[in-house]
Amino acid sequence: MPTVFVRLTGCPLRCQYCDSEYAFHGGERSTVNSVLEQVDSYGAKHVCVTGGEPLAQPNAIALIRALCDEGYEVSLETSGAMPVEDVDARVSIVMDLKTPGSQESHRNRWENLASLQQKDQIKFVICSKDDFDWAVFKIQEHELLARVGDVLVSPSFGQVEPAALADWVLKSGLPLRFQVQIHKVLWGDKPGV
């Protein structure tokens, strides 16, 4: 779906595969109204608030609420390391659970799972077969398929062949949604797309 991405600066994590390091620093200060005006200029119905780790910004919750109030379909991409309890109930949360291969799995805030609903998604970025097996174990341990609308698995770019991950999904017998980074397929591995 045509979507406007609002990318907020900063992230307390350092996943080894991160492709958004340019978002750790810099950016410019904006008011909520200024962001709303920029979003409106694109004319899309869907807005994805992402980062970095968007919830690391103190005003992210207010921005997200304002986007919902304007009538946008809002999704939030978050690392799973920050509390999500205060995120507006109209938002579709796309929450990572960091695998051991990310080198940040100790940052998973497992208590976030209690806040997720059928409108939400959980995503695993898979760096190896061991990561996939770990994800399957966590899916079963926490009954994730019943908790959220979709459980997504995505191959870490350059570390797992997409076809290999698709094969693991089929062999697992689990109804997982397979996802590739479509912006890289379309426009290459570069910032700003």
Binding site for ligand SF4 (CB under 6 A): 11, 13-15, 18, 20, 51-53, 79
User: What stretch of H or E contains 126?
Assistant: strand 121-126
Give the whole-angstrom CA distance, residue 116 versus residue 29. Answer: 30
Residue 25 or 171 with smaller CB distance to ligand SF4: 25
Least spacing, CB of residue 107 vs ligand SF4, in Å: 8
Residue 66 or 80 with smaller CB distance to ligand SF4: 80
Q: The tokens 């870490």 sit on which residue? A: 156
Give the whole-angstrom CA distance, residue 91 versus residue 121. Answer: 11
- Residues 6+ away with beta carbon under 8 Å from 36: 66, 67, 70
Least spacing, CB of residue 80 vs ligand SF4, in Å: 8
Give the whole-angstrom CA distance, residue 189 versus residue 192. Answer: 10
Least spacing, CB of residue 41 vs ligand SF4, in Å: 25
Residue 53 or 120 with smaller CB distance to ligand SF4: 53
Least spacing, CB of residue 171 vs ligand SF4, in Å: 27
What dihedral do alpha carbons 180, 54, 21, 9 form, nearest 10°? 140
CA distances from 57 to 5, 29, 117, 159 (A): 16, 11, 23, 30
Residue 50 or 92 with smaller CB distance to ligand SF4: 50
User: What stretch of H or E contains 46?
Assistant: strand 46-50
Least spacing, CB of residue 6 vs ligand SF4, in Å: 14
Least spacing, CB of residue 91 vs ligand SF4, in Å: 18
Residue 19 or 73 with smaller CB distance to ligand SF4: 19
Q: Which token pair is 137?
A: 């174990």
Residue 83 or 167 with smaller CB distance to ligand SF4: 83
